[in-house]
Amino acid sequence: MSTLSRDEVARVAALARIDLTPAELDRLAGELDVIVESVARVSEVATPDVPATSHPLPLTNVFRADVPEAPLLAADALAGAPAARDGKFLVPQILEED
């Protein structure tokens, strides 16, 4: 039995300001009905004794350990810069301000 009628699909489409042809309304009514029935079937299985999961496999952190290291020296950082002045990167002025 269909849970979504063609008129309901037309109403929702009008609310979303989607212009659908009669053929599209018929097709979408059937497709949306299949989706609603599938969600209902899943809801039947999802009982309180079934734990909710966000991922089918256990996730683990794949990052390296956060170990403090010596910081990069300013001179080393500026060594690869096209231009530097007073220990800072020198970039072209883009605003007409000082």
| CATH entry 2.40.10 includes domain 6-45 | no
Residue 86 has, within 13 A of its CA and on its CB side, a CA count of 1
Give the start-to-end residue ranges of the domains of the chain.
Answer: 6-45
- What percentage of residues in the chain have a pLDDT greater than 90? 51
Residue-wise pLDDT for 25-71, tens only, equals 999 999 998 998 988 888 787 778 877 777 788 878 788 888 999 99
The pLDDT score that the predictor gives to residue 98 is 65
Q: Which residue has the higher pLDDT, 19 or 97?
A: 19
Supply the pTM of this predicted model. 0.45
The pLDDT score that the predictor gives to residue 15 is 96
Tokens of 41: 């079937």
Pairing mode, if any, of strands 84-85 and 88-89?
Answer: antiparallel
Write the CA distances from 85 to 10, 80, 81, 93, integer angstroms: 66, 13, 10, 14
